[in-house]
Homo-oligomer: A and B are copies of this chain.
Amino acid sequence: MPAPVAESILDAFAAIVGPNHALRDAGATAVYATDPRGLYSGLTPLVLRPGSTAEVSRILKLATETGTPIVPQGGNTGLVGGQLPDGSGSEIVLSLGRLDRIREIDLKSGTVTAEAGVVLQRLREAAEREGRIFPLALGSQGSCQIGGNLAANAGGANVLAYGNVRDLCLGLEVVLPTGEVLDDLRKLRKDNTGYDLKNLFVGAEGTLGVITAAVLRLFPAPKGRETAWFGLATPDDALALFEIATAAAGGALTAFELIQHRAVDFALRHIPGNRLPLEGPQPWYVLMEISSGRSAEDARGLAEEIAAAGFDRGLVADGTLAGSLAQTEAFWRLRESLVAAQKPEGASIKHDIAVPVADLPRFLREADRAVEAVCPGARVLCFGHMGDGNLHYNAAQPPGWDEAAFLALYPAMNRAVHDVVRALAGSISAEHGIGRMKRAELLETEPPVAIAMMRRLKATFDPAGIMNPGKLI
């Protein structure tokens, strides 16, 4: 257990941001030390809420000088504990929420320059007011912040057409552990002047430095959107439909979500206001979104063409296009309630995996067998972003089981499912990151050459080991 931070050092940190923005009272700091799902709970002697990049710089400089661990935090919505201090009470939380200026929107260059603490929803709305979109869309967008999104390389449902946030980011401002500021806020699509420093920090979960601002890409707002809900017999049918949709719509295919019936069933039973969009249940569903740069008619035409081809080829058993904006919203509300709908059924063991798109059906067959072997009667339910090969593959406890007894199987279940992922050259963390949750597994199972390189990066850029210790690497 690391030693507690000396009072005099805490005072020096607090002086940088001023008394109103240095929280030391346990009642005030607790919310920064626990995640909203209650999976991780830590302790911190001090939460710093800097108001400028210069203050972040002074904080990190002092941290390096005094060997004080710093845990950067955005909207505290991460799912793997990457944003939380440990239980030692020796880690200071650096909350970026006050860096919340949208510095510039440049419509001609198609960019927005925003500080780390800007809430994603606010950024999306600022773009929409200008007739543009910022396509990153997450369940947590009402509270997650763009700095955290970048640190975690956030994904979501629109990656299919627009890429991960890594792909949406043109430039960064980063404070290094020494306090030096890397100012790379360029609005350029093309820049081959040396090594790609930006992508060192995107996805690094705050272990190499603190992102304080970013230049992000904006896109023209679609002129038409069409949403469809299909019922299908098998994942193979869904894969075949995905091929049809890709060929027909190309970049206009902005979402292709695969959902198992059980997940929908839980959502219909436990989340008020949901209803099944089809006449009766089907084993699998696809939620498809088409966004047309041309017109509403064009979007509808494409969706109808894909639906017709799916019916004709016997892939789609039932399906409907959203007839109104209200229906579109209802489809997405159902999709988004799948996460919360698991809780009333008891404990569940979760996986955030990706495999090559072609291997998704095989993954599902083999993972289902793996789950059954670890816990006969466990109820697999999965949903996710089929177009990215990314599924949230979860197992709910058998009815009537004790939650704790089921959760004791977490490591064994993870291992069994992830073994299937690894055999298919997939990823055990497609979009949620490593954080605290998957660090041990990463270190154990990634190729030693890759782990050694990551360790060398960490040692090179954070030699004092002050940046978010115990996370990622």
Chain B nearest Cβ from A131, distance in angstroms:
8
Q: How far is the CA of A167 from the CA of B389 in the complex (A)?
A: 17
- Tell me whether A457 is interfacial, beta carbon within 8 Å: yes
Q: A188 touches which one: B187, B192, B250, B430 (CB < 8 A)? A: B430
Chain B nearest Cβ from A232, distance in angstroms:
16
The segment from A3-11, A152-160, A327-335 that touches chain B is A152-160
Contact with B along A352-363 (1 / 0, CB 8 A): 001111110000
Chain B residues with CB below 8 A from A433, complex form: 192
Contact yes or no, A186 B427, CB < 8 A: yes
Return the chain B residue nearest A305 by Cβ.
B294
Q: How far is the CA of A293 from the CA of B432 in the complex (A)?
A: 32
**CB contact under 8 A between A356 and B192, given known A167-B167, A453-B182:** no
Chain B nearest Cβ from A90, distance in angstroms:
25
Contact yes or no, B194 A434, CB < 8 A: yes
Chain B residues with CB below 8 A from A355, complex form: 188
Known pairs A110-B357, A188-B354; list 8 more (Cβ under 8 Å). Answer: A106-B356, A166-B196, A182-B449, A190-B354, A190-B431, A194-B446, A251-B251, A251-B293
Q: A461 touches which one: B247, B302, B456 (CB < 8 A)? A: B456
Contact yes or no, A189 B388, CB < 8 A: yes
Contact yes or no, B356 A111, CB < 8 A: yes
Chain B residues with CB below 8 A from A199, complex form: 196, 199
Contact yes or no, A188 B429, CB < 8 A: no
Q: How far is the CA of A163 from the CA of B191 in the complex (A)?
A: 12
- Tell me whether A404 is interfacial, beta carbon within 8 Å: no
Q: A203 touches which one: B155, B192, B220, B298 (CB < 8 A)? A: B192
- Tell me whether A409 is interfacial, beta carbon within 8 Å: no
Q: How far is the CA of A202 from the CA of B472 in the complex (A)?
A: 23
28 contacts between A and B (CB under 8 A): A108-B239, A153-B192, A155-B192, A159-B189, A159-B190, A160-B189, A163-B167, A164-B190, A181-B449, A184-B447, A188-B356, A188-B426, A190-B389, A191-B430, A192-B203, A193-B434, A194-B450, A194-B454, A194-B473, A195-B200, A195-B203, A195-B208, A195-B457, A196-B199, A196-B204, A252-B293, A456-B460, A460-B460
Chain B residues with CB below 8 A from A192, complex form: 152-153, 155, 203, 427, 429-434
**CB contact under 8 A between A388 and B447, given known A106-B358, A203-B196, A252-B293:** no
Return the chain B residue nearest A432 by Cβ.
B192
Contact yes or no, B354 A427, CB < 8 A: no
- Tell me whether A339 is interfacial, beta carbon within 8 Å: no
Q: How many residues of A contact B (CB 8 A)?
A: 94
Q: How far is the CA of A433 from the CA of B390 in the complex (A)?
A: 34
Return the chain B residue nearest A438 by Cβ.
B193
- Tell me whether A345 is interfacial, beta carbon within 8 Å: no
Contact yes or no, B197 A454, CB < 8 A: yes
Q: How far is the CA of A282 from the CA of B175 in the complex (A)?
A: 48
Contact with B along A136-151 (1 / 0, CB 8 A): 0000000000000000
Q: How far is the CA of A323 from the CA of B106 in the complex (A)?
A: 36
Which has the most chain B C-beta neighbours within 10 Å: A110, A192, A359?
Answer: A192
Chain B residues with CB below 8 A from A252, complex form: 251, 293
